[in-house]
Amino acid sequence: MRETTLAGTKVPGRTSAECPDGVTLKAGAISQCVATYEGAEIPYEVKISDSYTKGSTITSHTTEAQKGVLVAKFVYNALYESYGAGSGRTDASKLACDEIPSRRRSN
């Protein structure tokens, strides 16, 4: 979950992850977990593979974020890549925006 969160923000940051009630090791079970990015909480569902069998040494699972985090630095970097001095665009001088909060959780 921490790696997925960092991959989604595309900006290094402090992360953590926990599953308050643990992960239920049962075929098809879904557990609720929470990752954090710089203090912002991102709820996740962790689903154990339908083919799981008790005592398996390898547990296949999927994780799905229920919300995301948009990081200002990512937005600024994307805008610079598309419209910055090296972009070759002639309309780049028309681009302007107010300061974006450092992070924002999406619904």
- 37-61 residue pLDDT tens: 999 999 999 999 999 999 888 899 9
Task: Indicate the burial class of 9 (C-beta count within 10 angstroms; 0-12, 13-18, 19 or more).
Answer: buried
Mean pLDDT in residue range 16-23:
96
Query: Tens of pLDDT along 76-100?
Result: 888 888 887 778 887 777 777 778 7
| 69 in Cβ contact with 43 (< 8 Å) | no
Mean pLDDT in residue range 4-27:
94
Q: What percent of the chain has pLDDT over 90?
A: 57
> Could you tell me the two tokens for 96?
């302007």
Is residue 3 within a helix (H) or strand (E), and if so which, with residue range? helix 2-9
Q: Give me the chain's average pLDDT, please.
A: 88
pTM: 0.76
